[in-house]
């Protein structure tokens, strides 16, 4: 039963931030594969909620993000102009997090289904990379202990 709670905790952390969920899963002694999958699932769920159900939340996040970057063009705006929906989908899980990236994509006029597809691809790619890096780092650390 403890592994079920650990898994749910990693999914919950993934909903909030992919960067936090991966080390948490490894710290809870989940395998790297399970950690990566559950972290990606949590991030994808948060992106889906924002894309498909959270119009008011989406508007609040976009306004908050725009206020921070009112004087200069935001990094995500530059990514959007240069790479479009594919670039936003790949980079936002890493740069802004999945929920805010999804809100920004919708604010830029992305079609929700395409945005969800590319966000999911980006989440899975970054989850795999970050999980592998964290797992290798922990193995290296344990080897020197």
**144: exposed, middle or buried (C-beta count within 10 Å: 0-12, 13-18, 19+)?**
exposed
**Residue 32's closest CA among 98, 143, 130?**
130
pLDDT of residue 62: 64
Entry field: residues in the chain: 145
> For residue 65, what pLDDT is reported?
61
What pLDDT is recorded for position 8? 95
- Is residue 94 within 8 Å of residue 127, measured between CB atoms? no
pLDDT in the model for residue 46: 94
**pTM exceeding 0.95:** no
Calculated CA dihedral for residues 63, 66, 68, 71, nearest 10 degrees = -140
**Which residues fall within 8 angstroms of residue 53, CB to CB, at 6 or more apart?**
none
**pLDDT at 61 (0 to 100):** 60
Query: pLDDT value at position 2?
Result: 86
Please name which of 24, 68, 40 lies closest in space to residue 129, comparing C-alpha atoms: 40
| pLDDT, position 120 | 96
**pLDDT by residue for the chain (145 residues), tens digit each?**
588 999 999 999 999 999 899 999 999 999 999 999 999 999 999 999 989 887 776 667 667 666 655 555 677 677 788 889 999 899 889 888 999 888 888 888 889 999 999 999 999 999 999 999 999 998 888 888 7
Q: What is the pLDDT of residue 133?
A: 95
Residue 128 has what pLDDT? 96
């Amino acid at each position: 039963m403890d592994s079920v709670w650990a898994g749910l905790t990693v999914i919950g952390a993934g909903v909030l931030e992919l960067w936090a969920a991966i080390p948490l899963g490894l710290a809870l002694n989940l395998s790297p594969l399970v950690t990566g999958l559950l972290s990606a699932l949590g991030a994808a769920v948060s992106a889906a909620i924002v894309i498909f159900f959270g119009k008011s939340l989406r508007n609040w996040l976009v306004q908050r993000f725009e206020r921070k970057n009112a004087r200069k063009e935001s990094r995500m705006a530059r990514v959007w102009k240069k790479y479009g929906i594919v670039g936003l989908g790949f980079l936002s899980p890493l740069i802004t997090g999945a929920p805010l990236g999804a809100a920004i994509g919708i604010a830029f006029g992305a079609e929700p289904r395409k945005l969800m597809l590319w966000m999911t691809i980006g989440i899975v790619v970054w989850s795999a990379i970050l999980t592998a890096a964290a797992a290798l780092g922990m193995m290296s650390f344990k080897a020197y202990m």
